[in-house]
Structure formats: structure tokens, C-alpha cells
Structure 1
Amino acid sequence: MSLLEKQPNTSSEFEVDSQRRHEQDAHLDSKLRTLRLLDGARAGATLLALLMGLAVLGTTGHALQAYNTSRFDASAGGAAWLSMWPDNGAFDVKPTVALVVGASLVVLSNVIALTSHHRFVRARLAAAHTPLTFSAPFVGLVVAIVAVILFYVANQSATADTLLSWSCRWRFLNTASPAPQFASLCRASHAGVDLAILLIPVEFAAFVLAGFELKLQRYTAAYTHARKTPSPVLA
């Protein structure tokens, strides 16, 4: 009689345990789906940051190259438009250089992040994947902020012109080749600065998504480990 009384309890415990396992599987599947969504969103933000970094590098690099080429050609050939560029003491090219260097570092960090996202690299550098995906957008964010700050601090000088201020001041001046086209340089300089500013929230989004992804990865790893660990048998 006592055996018959225990059978319903054993069956009930089995059903409860089965239901609990089913709920745990559904919970883990939900977390894994969220993790995949975060990973895709973070990779998309990283790719966008990379493209914007390339655009900043292209526009500001073009402006800087045009300045260097025309300045050196003028000094070598003794062109009549040599005075179109101010003297070194009244001209500061460091803001544009800061954007070029900053964009180069942004491109490099995002290329590393996207490379680590690839399955082939992730399978062989599993331990480095998570730190790279988290540190790369952080580096890009810091570099973008510093480059924009340096640009605006130097561009506010009342004693020295920058490539942006000088080219935009003379943007309506038509010059013959190979003299610099100030209208083109003005547009390129403005585009580089605007894209660098827009790059900051994109890098911030990639950084936040990487942070959530890292947190969820740790949670799912701990949760999976806890499920695989057998519970102690009570006497």
C-alpha cells in the first residue's frame, strides 16, 4: 500500500522536473537569440563606423594632401600664387592632421573588430574575441572624441588660421591649376569635421552594444555551466 502511495508523487516530481527543464531550455534559447541580435547589431555599428572613418580619412586626407602639394610646388617653382597660403607662423595645420590621425586609428580599430567577428578568426582566437569586440569600439570612441576636441580647440585660435578657416574664407576665389581650389578644400574640410562628429555617437552605440553583448555572454556561459553541473544528492 505504501508503494502505491509513492507512485503518484514520483510521477508528479518527474513532470515538475520536466517542466522546469523545458522552461530553462526556453530561457536559454531566448538569451542566445538576444545574444545573436546584439552581435549582429554591434557588427553593423562597427561596419558603419569603419565606413565613416574611411570617409573622414578620405576627405581630410585629400585636403591635407592638396595643401602640402600646392605649398611645396609653389616654393619649388616660384609660382605667383605663393602668397595664397599664409606664413607658417599664421597658419596651423595641426587640426587637420589630428583628424587624419584620428580617422586612421578609428579605421584600424574597427578593422580589427570586424576581423575578430569572422568565424574563422573567432574559432582560432576565441579567448581574444570578446576583449577585441569590446576594446575596439572603446578605442574608436576615445580617438574620435579627442580628434574633434583637438580640432575645435586649435580652430578657435584668434592668431592663426587653419586649413578650414583659410580655405573657406577664400572659397569664392577662382584659381588656375595647379593652384589650390579653395572651394573644394572648404567643402572637404567641413565634410571631414561633420563626419567626425557623427562618428562619435556611432562608436558610442557600438561600444554600448559590445558591453551588453559581453555581459550577456558571461551570463549565458554561467547559466549553461550551472545547468551542466549536477545537483548534490541529499541523503
Structure 2
Amino acid sequence: MKTAPPNLPLAAPALGAVFGLAALLVLLAMAPLSLVLGDRAAAAGLSAAQVSGTVWRGRLSDAAYRGLRLGEVRLGVSPLSLLAGRPRLGFKGEAATGAARLGRGAVELIDVDAALPLGRLAPDSGLAGTVRMAGVSLDLRDGECRRAGGQVALQDISLAGLQLPGLVLAGDPACAGASLALPLRGQAEGVDVQADLRIGADGGYQMDMILRTTRPEVEAALGAAGYERTLNGHQRRLVGRLGQP
């Protein structure tokens, strides 16, 4: 009858490596968040009035991404991702939750859910509403869109102060060359809308909108919002930068 070999203790070098790695992870987790973010955040376009707490549990006060206000954001960084050189930050803020990786010339958003006022994203669009994101992922590297996915919808829409109940614009983000492309489509009673949005890695955007309607009050609101009436519908091109009028 064979007996099982005895459990051998870890060799001293291996045991030392395990404890050394554990100690390093603890030190990283307790490091000040400001020390870890540093130049990476600035290079990625992330800023905050104040950075407090540790890598394990930190907070950004009055945070913004390339001029887009995010408010207060609580976040924590995976110590293992620090060892790999691309910190992964889990975040939960006033309007968004998800994860992100920051690197020099690179920003990756992972499984982001958010609800943001349209006026905060594109103040001069003539539209008001709420932009909702579900499971959105985005990988920007060296000024180019490498990967995008998820779902985006614009809800609770009003045009020049006129409410458009039942109108929801929805679409899936995708990369189009170096830019992020978002085609939004929606219909409601007497209103049909097409909006094609492109966003560059620097936060600049261009949105081409076509609205068709059989409702006189909507036509009047379109005129007040600066839309041009054409044979193809009421059209307007918006060009700007996210978060800036």
C-alpha cells in the first residue's frame, strides 16, 4: 500500500517571495491616491479640485474629464494592476459607475453605466434630456478609438423648451477611424429623428441632426433652435467640445 508523500514546506526563497509580494501589495494599497494618479490622470485628461484618500479607497472632488464635469467620484485602484503598469480604477460617482484604466496616451472605460444631462455634454445642441449609458466600454489609445461597445440612449427630450414625450433616441457606439461614432435614432408621434455623432479623442465633437415632423409646434421649436428647413427635413450641424458651450 502506497502512502501519500508528506507535504513539504515551501522553500525559503519561494516563501520569501510570497511574503514580499504580499507586503508590496499592502504598501501599494495604502499609498496616497494622488501619488498613483499623478501624471497619468493629467495625460488622460482627468482633473480634480482635490484628490484624497488611498489607492484602496480614494475620492476626487469636483472631478472633470476634458472639461466634462463629473462631480464627486469615489474610486479604488487594483494593486495588481499597478504592478502591471496600467492601473485599473473602479469608480462610483454622482452620475456614473464602472472601471477605467489610465496610461500615457491611453484611456480605457470598462462596463460604464451613467446618466448625464445632455446640457452638460453638448450645451449648444438646442436639445435637453438625459443621456443614459449601459455597459459602455471604450478604448482610446494614441488619439484613436480602438474599441467601443454598449448602449446609449437619450431620454426625456425637449426641444427649445418644448417637451417631446415618448421620444427616445438610441444607438450603439462604435469606432469609425480614429473617432467614436454614435448613430442615434428614434420616433414618436409625428416626430422622426436621426442624429449622427462623432467624438474625437480630444473631446471635440460633430453632430449632424435631421428631424422630420408633421407637428406645427415642433416645426416652430426647430426654427427657434436654429434648424434649417430642407427637402430632407430640418437639419443642423453642431460642432464643439464636450462640456463646453
TM-score normalised to the size of structure 1? 0.25
Higher relative contact order (CA 8 A, sep 6+): 1
Which structure has the larger Rg over C-alpha atoms? 1
TM-score normalised to the size of structure 2? 0.24
